[in-house]
Amino acid sequence: MTDINERHNKRMEKKKAVIDKNIAQADKEKGLLLVLTGNGKGKSSSAFGMIARSLGHGMKVGVVQFIKSRTDTGEEGYFSRDPNVDWHVTGEGFTWDTQNREQDIETSEKGWAIAQNMLQDPSYKLVVLDELTYLLSYKYLDSDSVLADINGRHDNQHVVVTGRAASDALKEAADTVSEIADIKHAYREGIKAQKGIDL
């Protein structure tokens, strides 16, 4: 064996020992709170990926989409056919479309009541709260009581929150936080939202 191969194998052997030890130490089970934020594309679609994973394990999934009002998206069309999925589109459109703060607050409260029911029901193993961050940053919902509802959920339930500009309080409460950076977006080249990619 050449020197370079031998050195590589030695290094991999050491690396494997470290990785195996770390895996053995990570032995806790816990319902997680994940926050997917940032200005780049991929927050909601990452949450939808976790829905697919959960369904593959036979888990029941609840989804509440805030802000968004369209019910013709590929994700809803596909996932809501599954009997293990409870999908709610509760928004009435973007704040700059509705231009009605009182109505937005009322819509947010109705949506949150659906989310609360899911958070109190341990049969939901994954709850996706899509675009929730906006309801907190616009103060349509009270941040403390939303966090209390999320923190008060059943031990084995996972929650995924998506949306730009997640608050510090939400990030602190979370177990996993990812911030997706906007490096480039096709939209800025004049390309409209594409089926299968954006909706």
Residues that bind ligand ATP (CB under 6 A): 39-45, 131, 162, 164, 182, 185, 187, 193, 198
| Dist CA 62 CA 168 (whole Å) | 25
Shortest separation between residue 192's beta carbon and Mg ion, angstroms: 17
Cα of 125 vs its chain's centroid, Å: 14
Shortest separation between residue 81's beta carbon and ligand ATP, angstroms: 20
| Dist CA 45 CA 61 (whole Å) | 15
Contacts of 144 (CB under 8 A, 6+ apart): 169
What's the helix, strand, coil split of the chain in %, to 5? 45, 15, 40
Other CB atoms within a 10 A radius of the CB of residue 162 amount to 26
Q: In the range 39-58, which residues lie near Mg ion by CB under 5 A? A: 43-44
Q: Decide whether 44 or 54 has the Cβ nearer to Mg ion.
A: 44
Residue 198 interacting partner from ligand ATP, Mg ion, none (CB closer than 5 to 8 Å by kind): ligand ATP
Does 153 sit near Mg ion (CB under 5 A)?
no
Q: Decide whether 78 or 187 has the Cβ nearer to ligand ATP.
A: 187
Q: Decide whether 31 or 40 has the Cβ nearer to ligand ATP.
A: 40
Shortest separation between residue 157's beta carbon and ligand ATP, angstroms: 22
Q: Please, are residues 174 and 138 in contact by the beta-carbon 8 Å criterion?
A: no
| Dist CA 28 CA 92 (whole Å) | 40
Q: Decide whether 39 or 156 has the Cβ nearer to ligand ATP.
A: 39
Shortest separation between residue 5's beta carbon and ligand ATP, angstroms: 42
For residue 80, give the DSSP letter.
T
Note the residues at the interface with Mg ion (CB under 5 A).
Answer: 43-44
